[in-house]
A and B are shown apart, each in its own frame.
Chain A
Amino acid sequence: MSSYTVADLREVEQRCQQIAATELGLHTQEIVFHLVAPEEVYFAAANGLPARYSSARWGAQFESEYGRYRAGQGRIYELIFNTRPVHAYLMEGNSLVAQTLVIAHCLGHAHVFEENRWLGGVDRQIMPRVLSAADRIAEYMGAHGRDRVEDFLDAAHAIAVHQPQAQLLRRAPAGEPEYRPRRYDELFEAEVAAERERLREERRQMRRRFPREPARDLLGFIEANARGLEDWQRDVMSIVRSEQGYFLPQMRTKILNEGAAVIAHQEICQRLFLAAGQYWEYEQLNASVVAPRHGEVNPYSLGGELIREIMRIAADADDEDRERWSWAGEVDPWLRVREVLRDYDDAALLREFLTPRVCERCRLYAFERSARDPRLIRVSSREADEIREVLVRRHASLQIPVIEVVDADFRGRGELLLAHRHDGVGLDSEYARGTLVEIATLWGKACTVRTIAGADPDREVWFTGHPDGRSELLDEHGSPDANAAM
């Protein structure tokens, strides 16, 4: 299999870089490719980053994924890290054709890492932090016992994704409501006085509340305000929070990123292999990368088709396309693709370009849970509009429910009250209770979340978790003092 040398790979990399730069116009930059053993690839994949702190959490992931690989049930070809310079792993034992595909694929990723605005906030110098965090956590495990630290890590990870995400627009703090004088105020003295009084009351209310405004950075809030935490615990929370902050923008651009990578490897490999007689092997590999998946969407397949659709609209538009896109049929396809790769995230990409044609090519369907057996799914539609609505919603929210801290002195007992800003569907009760117990261990006191039952916006329910592991459900009638607090 591996009848090639590192020098051969370097040559392949040169040729790929050249095609990417001259023919596709990708932003090429230095990528350091490491040829490493499969075990290392799976280890780094389980951790999300190389050399991250040791945890049973990654161990579970490693065990299942590496086990599947060894049983011949799956294979990671490539692993790439958004750092500067970009680092990527090539797995030892892959054929030269496979390595070529991976190298070309990574050039697509590197372009997005460099150019995409949503990824602009990513700290690409994260590795020194990762290494230092690994040392500190090892130290804490030595000092306080591995299990205690692992338990605390689990609790912190439970809410790590609840932080302001890579947002191009940041919300300014609201500040206190002030009366703004208007032109004809003197004509409405009584009304103006009443309005001023109302705002004064609102300010008073606000000052009494803590936090003054609902806080969406759950770990940050708890780290700053929980009492009785030890220093190491605060440090663990801040490590988990900041490392999660690195991953969130990448979760937001997953389909876009894979789409760019798939197009890059397809375009480059077609140019390289058509002549070389290795096309058949390449084509098989490519087909397995973009193979459709049952009950979920293969981001390689969907991303690739979305980018292809943009190129088609640019080069080969029909009348309908021209009506919708002013640039349809009149722009260099690669130029338009590069613009999209620069400006869009997954939600925007799907909203604009998930056309019936893409749905058809990817064989997409929308599904719901079967009422009979929630483990099964029932296909609800093959219409592009419905599929788009579901997909856009999932990718706009990253499937992270919006949870806010609304009161840090709930029931007057220093408990934590959270509110779920729902979108028509309430929280899963089992997971809510489990999560609240984890938060309660961080906060040190009981923790409650307000949400709705199922899809009924009029039925409010409250879940509470306690630091001792108990949890309970209170419906709207069960918690008189809870209602008073809001």
Chain B
Amino acid sequence: MPVVSGSGLPHDDGRRDSLHHRERLRRKITEQLRGRIGEEDIIAAGPEKRIRVPVKGTRHWRFILDRDLEKGVGQGEAGPGDVIGPPGGRAAPGDAGLQPGEELYEVWLDMDEVEEMLFSELRLPRLKPKQAADTQAQHVLFDDIARHGPQVDKKATLRENLARNAREGRVHLGGIEKPDLRYLSYREAPIPRHKAVIFLAMDVSGSMEADRKRMARLFFYWCVQFLRRRYEQTETVFIAHTTDAREVVEEEFFSRTESGGTRVSSAFEEIERIQRERYPAEDWNVYVLHVSDGDNFTADNARTLQLVERMTRFCALVGYLEVDPYRRGAPWGRGSYKLSGFYAERAADLDGFVFACAEEDRDLWPALKRLFAADEVEAALR
């Protein structure tokens, strides 16, 4: 029969493959974004803007001749000397999004999407239940498996069947019986209480040069963006310190430079005072983030550590980033005169305290990951 209906071959797999394609695209975009969080233009784009992300990883590489010298043949009425739009009948004039032939080269993303992609790997640190609200804030998660229920979990059932068959000496699926059946089930999970206050403390002494401040700004930006997405309400408090600390407004925070030395404890004392007065720990998730170049008065280190320890008792997280773009100290090293060295020696195991160093922009993502790491139990489960 020379004309037949249907092909008898699998035919609805196009959608499956295109989903795989999207997943891959997404993964590669995320990879590239991570390398770019140190770039200021992402932040400069602002929350409503869209940013352009080159997706090099998705191109289908092959050897071709120098594109600029390419000669070709086309069809139409144009005469010698006429300059006309890009080749390829489909591309609209001026559409630079498509490279010769086929592949998507750049995509535009909303800041929203960018953040979702990046933040999907970050976790909130240990949460302490907050008084007022938790009784009502329950969240139903369908991620459990039970032996009874209305809706069969096919995957779990097949797994169970496979395991039972294996136990009984058969290495295949099939013969599903009642004991194999597994059902979807749910559990109630508390939603993190909705309010967070973020104390951003920065060293504004003369040694914090423009480059270091820029990194501090990037770091604060991403931390605050991340926390904003996880809480319904966030407040930020900016604390500038040299040997003294005081609360400032955001613009001043990044622009001012003062002479003088550095006494980190002054900032932490100020934070404790403000927190006590305005943000009672029963109602607020408290975050303290501190950035400096690590040149603290050695005599102040003990006092600083004492305050850090005290803060971890009521804070969800105390974080410290040492920006040292010119590799002046030897961060991490024991006995280093830098603050990070001191912390490494004395506070490495302090629960609720995380510190990291960044020499260049590309160290910012690892630093963020250190701060907002999936906790160990969760990591082990994944």
Q: Give A contacts to B, CB under 8 Å.
A: 6, 9-10, 13, 30-37, 39-40, 42-44, 46, 50-51, 54-64, 66, 68, 73-74, 87, 89-90, 146-147, 150, 154, 157-159, 161-162, 292-298, 301, 362-370, 372, 374-382, 387, 390-391, 394, 399-401, 403, 420, 425-429, 431-432, 434-435, 437-438, 449, 454-455
Q: Is the CB of A146 within 8 A of B81?
A: no
**Residues of chain A lying within 8 A (CB to CB) of residue B4:** 6, 32-35
A293 is contacted by which of B14, B23, B74 (Cβ under 8 Å)? Answer: B74
Q: Is the CB of B64 within 8 A of A294?
A: no
The verdict on A157 contacting B60 (CB below 8 Å), with A32-B2, A378-B81 known, is yes
Q: Is the CB of B75 within 8 A of A298?
A: yes
**Residues of chain B lying within 8 A (CB to CB) of residue A59:** 14, 16-22
Q: Which of B37-82 contact A (CB under 8 A)?
A: 56, 58-82
Q: Distance in Å from the Cβ of B228 to the closest Cβ of chain A?
A: 31
**Residues of chain B lying within 8 A (CB to CB) of residue A58:** 14, 17
B85 within 8 A of A: yes
Q: Tell me if A's interface is mostly helix, strand, loop or mixed.
A: mixed
Q: Is the CB of B62 within 8 A of A435?
A: yes
Q: Is the CB of A62 within 8 A of B75?
A: no
Q: Distance in Å from the Cβ of A407 to the closest Cβ of chain B?
A: 18
B278 within 8 A of A: no
Q: Is the CB of B65 within 8 A of A426?
A: yes
**Residues of chain B lying within 8 A (CB to CB) of residue A399:** 64-65
B96 within 8 A of A: yes
For the complex, give the distance between the alpha carbons of A444 and B63 in Å.
19
B12 within 8 A of A: yes
Q: Is the CB of B64 within 8 A of A431?
A: yes
Q: Is the CB of B2 within 8 A of A13?
A: yes
B120 within 8 A of A: no
Q: Is the CB of B84 within 8 A of A377?
A: yes
Q: Is the CB of A146 within 8 A of B20?
A: yes
* CB nearest neighbor in A for B84: A377
**Residues of chain B lying within 8 A (CB to CB) of residue A365:** 73-76, 78-80
B143 within 8 A of A: no
Q: Is the CB of A40 within 8 A of B7?
A: yes
Q: Is the CB of A379 within 8 A of B79?
A: yes
The verdict on A31 contacting B2 (CB below 8 Å), with A40-B7, A376-B85, A379-B81 known, is yes
For the complex, give the distance between the alpha carbons of A159 and B16 in Å.
26
Q: Is the CB of B68 within 8 A of A369?
A: yes
**Residues of chain A lying within 8 A (CB to CB) of residue B1:** 10, 32
Q: Is the CB of B56 within 8 A of A379?
A: no
Extra contacts besides A379-B82, A449-B63 (8): CB < 8 Å: A43-B12, A51-B9, A63-B22, A292-B76, A298-B75, A378-B83, A379-B81, A434-B56
Which residue of B5, B20, B56, B72 has the most chain A CB atoms within 10 A of its CB atom?
A: B72
Q: Is the CB of A370 within 8 A of B83?
A: yes
* CB nearest neighbor in A for B104: A60
B3 within 8 A of A: yes
Q: Is the CB of B14 within 8 A of A295?
A: no
- Which of the 9-residue segments B86-94, B151-159, B169-177, B286-294 touches chain A? B86-94
**Residues of chain B lying within 8 A (CB to CB) of residue A157:** 60, 62
0/1 interface trace, chain B 103-116, chain A, CB 8 Å (1 if under): 11000000000000
B147 within 8 A of A: no
A378 is contacted by which of B63, B66, B82 (Cβ under 8 Å)? Answer: B82
Q: Give B contacts to A, CB under 8 Å.
A: 1-7, 9-24, 27, 56, 58-90, 96, 102-104
Q: Is the CB of B65 within 8 A of A401?
A: yes
Q: Is the CB of B63 within 8 A of A293?
A: no
Q: Is the CB of B88 within 8 A of A428?
A: no
* CB nearest neighbor in B for A380: B80
For the complex, give the distance between the alpha carbons of A297 and B74 in Å.
5
Q: Is the CB of B96 within 8 A of A375?
A: yes
**Residues of chain A lying within 8 A (CB to CB) of residue B83:** 370, 372, 376-379
* CB nearest neighbor in B for A161: B62
> Can you pick out 6 interface pairs between chain A and chain B where the beta carbons lie within 8 Å of each other?
A32-B2, A292-B75, A376-B83, A376-B85, A378-B83, A434-B61
For the complex, give the distance between the alpha carbons of A13 and B1 in Å.
11
B87 is contacted by which of A37, A162, A296, A387 (Cβ under 8 Å)? Answer: A296
**Residues of chain B lying within 8 A (CB to CB) of residue A367:** 71-74, 84, 87
**Residues of chain B lying within 8 A (CB to CB) of residue A296:** 72-75, 87-89
For the complex, give the distance between the alpha carbons of A432 and B88 in Å.
22
Q: Distance in Å from the Cβ of B30 to the closest Cβ of chain A?
A: 13
For the complex, give the distance between the alpha carbons of A55 and B90 in Å.
25
Q: Is the CB of A435 within 8 A of B75?
A: no
The verdict on A364 contacting B74 (CB below 8 Å), with A378-B82, A379-B79 known, is yes
B71 is contacted by which of A46, A62, A293, A368 (Cβ under 8 Å)? Answer: A368
Q: Is the CB of B73 within 8 A of A33?
A: no
Q: Is the CB of A295 within 8 A of B84?
A: yes
Q: Distance in Å from the Cβ of B326 to the closest Cβ of chain A?
A: 25
* CB nearest neighbor in B for A58: B17
**Residues of chain B lying within 8 A (CB to CB) of residue A10:** 1-3
For the complex, give the distance between the alpha carbons of A198 and B262 in Å.
78
Q: Is the CB of A295 within 8 A of B69?
A: no
Q: Distance in Å from the Cβ of A251 to the closest Cβ of chain B?
A: 13
Q: Is the CB of B64 within 8 A of A401?
A: yes
* CB nearest neighbor in B for A403: B63
Q: Distance in Å from the Cβ of B309 to the closest Cβ of chain A?
A: 42
Q: Distance in Å from the Cβ of A452 to the closest Cβ of chain B?
A: 9
Q: Distance in Å from the Cβ of A101 to the closest Cβ of chain B?
A: 15
* CB nearest neighbor in A for B96: A375
For the complex, give the distance between the alpha carbons of A275 and B6 in Å.
31
For the complex, give the distance between the alpha carbons of A146 and B24 in Å.
10
* CB nearest neighbor in B for A391: B73
**Residues of chain A lying within 8 A (CB to CB) of residue B14:** 39-40, 42-43, 46, 58-59, 62, 66
For the complex, give the distance between the alpha carbons of A154 and B25 in Å.
13
**Residues of chain A lying within 8 A (CB to CB) of residue B102:** 61, 64
Q: Is the CB of A89 within 8 A of B66?
A: no
For the complex, give the distance between the alpha carbons of A391 and B73 in Å.
7
Q: Distance in Å from the Cβ of B2 to the closest Cβ of chain A?
A: 5
Q: Is the CB of A369 within 8 A of B67?
A: yes
